[in-house]
A and B are shown apart, each in its own frame.
Chain A
């Protein structure tokens, strides 16, 4: 075959075009974002982690072990579902759902914990720690720790422990110790602080499984790479189904791991529009939200430079969202880069809009989505209505809504 001068055209139908996009650089920077802003004690352990990770990625044995686990334990590939009835009601573009809700443990989180746990085993670590907000990452971590026989400690803000009892019980059933964090705002950011403190203290035998594309380098890259299986599968699936790439991608963004997992393999496909959806909470104008990309500014937190919700003195602000998984004042640094570079567009959806989408999808398709994913659905609804029926949108349905029954019932004035 002749070599085309226009590379983007030549590789249009081929997966793996992310190779043309080479972020982050060797020091973990995505332009001005990312990096390694941690205490000196953690610098050498992070260097070791990077070395181990690069070794594993180059090792076909590690890859085949990971692929087998994703297939036999997680249940991959997850289906791509054409939500025909919902698309008809919306009255615009065809909407396809990447069904990460059908994974073992009910969300995309396990793609990453499987990968990091295998890495921990390779590095000879015997103890796993994690932070969690809603409890989904905590459950996904406790799950893989149980399977590999590793000690597991999960840090969770005291506020979240109270509002996510079922997931706390689930983690304990799986053998994890759940530590309620009582400092600061007693939510996800404080759980992450506490996990960092544990890691700095027990760094010799402990592996810290970060649940999103944030934290110091190499975590944002490593979590993205483990989650990129979502986008690789979805790209191949939609090409097979429709013969062309989607016109747009939509995913919710808290820390942003499900979004980057979907977006990453499409970054070189410049004809595909990319939309990330943050939590507008009670509304951006109220200040009670969790939308740093939409309404924040750059700063440094949890080991990286990124957009944050912070006050004029550089103190991190408390956030609000009905979905605990989006209730975080920062965001993965690669999203900050994608925003500034213009490759992705970020918007925000309120609690009420997300709830409406939650009910709408449940009633029209018989799929109960997570409240996090409902933010992406609400945005996709509005976007699809502006598009033609021969166009398509690919939405990451990142998790199932079973965990949110109490929250939704409470909002509707019911007690379960």
Chain B
């Protein structure tokens, strides 16, 4: 069983919702990332999404764009991101790591080479923002051969037919983008999320993570009531940005923030029915 499947099974058994933080690898410098990943796990992260910097992050809002620019200014490449995961794995064999980014760095590395190197480094999956199922066949096949999941996005604009199509190829978990917009945008509406997550569950028998627009303990708790995983990106990356000049303080500060989210999710899990429905 893959690390991702094992982690969700374990959480479901305990009636808990996963907390999934996103950070951009190498932001604000490459030395911070691995200690930060360990600190996040200690603070209650169940799975880590690690952003691979790309020069043209079309689906990201200003906060993650700036994180990407900071990492690229330090020359962070996909190869270096894989090295960070390898370093993380030396001490943590249980926490799944999913890369999140855009297709072009993988195109240049080559699908087969990426799949092999990512698998060897201890990566568990990848979420490629600009790779819909229509274009994903070759990469999905090669990643599967290495035991890697290609995590798919589902959007508010995804029709029933599209959700079915995604269900045919998705593995690991699916990521419901809770709003029409870029990362870090506002206006999270918990009731419409519940409806859409219901539609997804009717067709896809994988855990459903929800992200985009979760900023604090309150929104994390709301989402935990309906989702199997609460994904938080810009709110974390914004905190990293504010500490870019004192990077040694980042792991502790982010751990404290995640601790608050974890507590709110635990409360929701106690009173809600999110994970128990699975």
Contacts and interface: CB of A to CB of B under 8 A. Distances in A.
Our verdict on whether A and B bind, yes or no, reads yes
Interface of A: 27, 35-45, 183-184, 189-190, 193, 196-197, 200-204, 298-303, 305, 308, 310, 312-316
A44 B129 contact: no
B13 interface: no
B61 interface: yes
A315 B58 contact: no
Given A201-B180, A310-B104, A36 B134 contact: yes
Interface string B51-88: 00011111111100100010010000111000000000
B56 A316 contact: yes
Given A38-B130, A40-B132, A310-B108, A302 B157 contact: no
Contacts of A298: 107
Contacts of B130: 37-39, 300, 303
Given A189-B56, A299-B104, A314-B105, A39 B77 contact: no
Given A39-B153, A43-B132, A301 B56 contact: yes
Interface in B201-225: none
B55 A315 contact: yes
A308 B104 CA distance: 10
B156 interface: yes
A192 B69 CA distance: 17
A119 B54 CA distance: 33
B152 to A, nearest CB: 7
B54 A314 contact: yes
Contact of A40 (B55, B69, B153): B153
Interface in B147-204: 152-159, 162, 166, 177, 180-182, 185
* Nearest 8 pairs of A and B residues by beta carbon: A314-B105, A314-B108, A41-B155, A313-B77, A201-B181, A40-B153, A315-B55, A314-B104
Nearest to B62: A183
Contact of B132 (A38, A190, A312): A38
Contact of A301 (B104, B132, B152, B156): B104
Contact of B177 (A40, A193, A300, A313): A40
Contacts of B107: 298-300, 305, 314
B243 interface: no
Max count, chain B CB within 10 A of own CB: residue among A38, A204, A313: A313
Contacts of A305: 107
B104 A41 contact: no
B155 A315 contact: no
Given A39-B59, A193-B58, A200 B181 contact: yes
Contacts of B135: 35-37
Contacts of A301: 56, 104
B244 interface: no
Given A35-B135, A193-B58, A196-B58, A41 B103 contact: no
Given A203-B157, A203-B180, A39 B72 contact: no
A38 B103 CA distance: 10
A200 B129 contact: no
A299 B110 CA distance: 10
Given A201-B180, A201-B181, A41 B134 contact: no
B197 to A, nearest CB: 15
A244 to B, nearest CB: 43
Main secondary structure of the interface of B (DSSP, over half): loop
Contacts of A27: 134
B213 to A, nearest CB: 12
Given A43-B158, A44-B159, A313-B108, 20 more contacts: A37-B135, A39-B130, A40-B162, A44-B158, A44-B162, A190-B56, A193-B56, A193-B57, A193-B58, A197-B61, A200-B180, A201-B181, A201-B182, A300-B130, A301-B104, A302-B56, A314-B104, A314-B105, A315-B55, A316-B55
18 contacts: A36-B135, A39-B59, A39-B130, A39-B132, A43-B134, A43-B162, A44-B157, A44-B158, A44-B162, A193-B57, A200-B59, A201-B180, A298-B107, A299-B107, A299-B108, A300-B103, A300-B130, A313-B108
A67 to B, nearest CB: 34
Contacts of B54: 314-315
A81 B182 CA distance: 48
B5 interface: no
A128 B175 CA distance: 30
A26 to B, nearest CB: 11
Contacts of A42: 157
A304 to B, nearest CB: 10
Nearest to B181: A201
B58 A302 contact: yes
A184 B56 contact: yes
A202 B156 CA distance: 12
B26 to A, nearest CB: 12
A314 B106 contact: yes
Nearest to B132: A43
Nearest to A330: B56
Contacts of B157: 40-45, 203
Contacts of B180: 41, 200-204
Contacts of A308: 104
B41 interface: no
Contacts of B153: 39-41
A37 B105 contact: no
Nearest to A43: B132
B12 interface: no
Contacts of A313: 77-79, 105, 108
A39 B134 contact: no
A197 B182 contact: yes
B129 A39 contact: yes
A136 B86 CA distance: 49
Given A39-B155, A44-B157, A314 B78 contact: yes
A40 B158 contact: yes
Nearest to B175: A40
